[in-house]
Amino acid sequence: MKLHLGELAISSPAFSHGGSIPAEHATDGEDVSPELVFSDIPAGTVELAVLCHDPDAPLTNGFTHWVAWGIPPDTDGIPRGGGGSFTEGTNDFGNAGYGGPAPPPGHGRHHYFFHLYALSSAVDLSPGATGAELLAHIDDAIIEQARIVGTYER
């Protein structure tokens, strides 16, 4: 099942919308990003951006697990483990790239929102920008957005 707002869509063969993210994509496992599949990229898209965020984290603004932009609009997704020509920002672990689910043990099921943004202009940020910096920068350039939500629990 795909959840999309407008025509833009994001899905993953690793988990269904609302389903459990396999441990291989969490810090408990290989800690590699899941494959993401994009479809119905709207006309006028200059580039795509992805942000993975856990709003259930016991922090004021949740926890950002992945920040990526500069994804070409003619791509059909991101392969398992990343790869491709795009720029990655700094996640809330303090690292560049993807950092998988790592909810506190016994904290219950957390929800991981993989947001896809179709943008009308290129992102002009330095590598290592945070999720908050990306969102502030792209606010006026979002043509459409879509998301898929996975869950993980320890």
| Residue extents of the structural domains in the chain | 3-152
Architecture of the domain defined by 3-152? Alpha-Beta Complex (3.90)
> What are the residues whose beta carbons fall under 8 Å from the beta carbon of 84, sequence distance 6 or more?
71, 75, 78
Q: What is the pLDDT of residues 128-147, one digit of tens each?
A: 999 999 999 999 999 999 99
Q: What is the pLDDT of residues 53-97, one digit of tens each?
A: 999 998 778 999 999 999 999 999 999 999 878 999 999 999 999
pTM (two decimals): 0.94
The secondary structure of 4-40 as a DSSP string is EESS-EEE-TT--TTSBPPGGGSTTTT--PPPEEEE-
Q: Is the pLDDT of residue 114 over 60?
A: yes
